[in-house]
Amino acid sequence: MVSGKAEFIEAILKVKSNMDIGMFYGIQKGAIEALKLGKEWFEAQNEIYSRRRNLIFELVDNLVCSYDKNSVGIFVWAKLPSDVTFAEDFIDRILLEKHIFSTSGTIFGSIGEGYIRFSSCVKGEIREAIERFEHPS
């Protein structure tokens, strides 16, 4: 909380708004160091995330969802089956039945309606989730 003269508060708000909309300085410094790494490091990271994305595709196939095989990035957006009317019900069901958590696209706004999102920022958990379909509990 801040209180004081309006002109001082305006100055604080100006600085704060610039801080809030930008990338955290520590992350920027880390990115600067990462950009100094050799091309091989980036190629290795791309390979890791490509393998994980392919595993997520396999997981999404088990959920009978569709997706763009040409998608890139650390997230896979999966279109829910046409018979699913409420993403949260679908998410709850796979959480309860398979102990797999995904994020409803609706938390990202109306454009995410009908989708769930998976992150490739995990390691062995993706393979473990796939195995839950192969070996039901």
122 part of a folded domain: yes
49 part of a folded domain: no
* Tens-level pLDDT at each residue, the chain (137 residues): 788 999 988 888 888 776 666 778 888 899 999 899 999 999 999 999 999 999 999 999 999 999 999 988 899 999 999 999 888 899 999 999 999 989 899 888 888 899 999 999 988 899 999 998 887 66
Handedness of CA 49, 52, 53, 54 (dihedral sign): positive
12 part of a folded domain: no
CA distance 9 to 49: 45
110 part of a folded domain: yes
- Give the total residue count for the chain: 137
Under 8 Å CB-to-CB from 113, ≥6 apart: which residues? 87, 105, 106
Specify the CATH number for the domain of residue 68.
3.90.1150.10
18 part of a folded domain: no
91 part of a folded domain: yes
127 part of a folded domain: yes
Total number of domains in the chain: 1
43 part of a folded domain: no
Residue ranges making up the domain that contains 84: 55-134
- Indicate whether this model's pTM tops 0.85: no
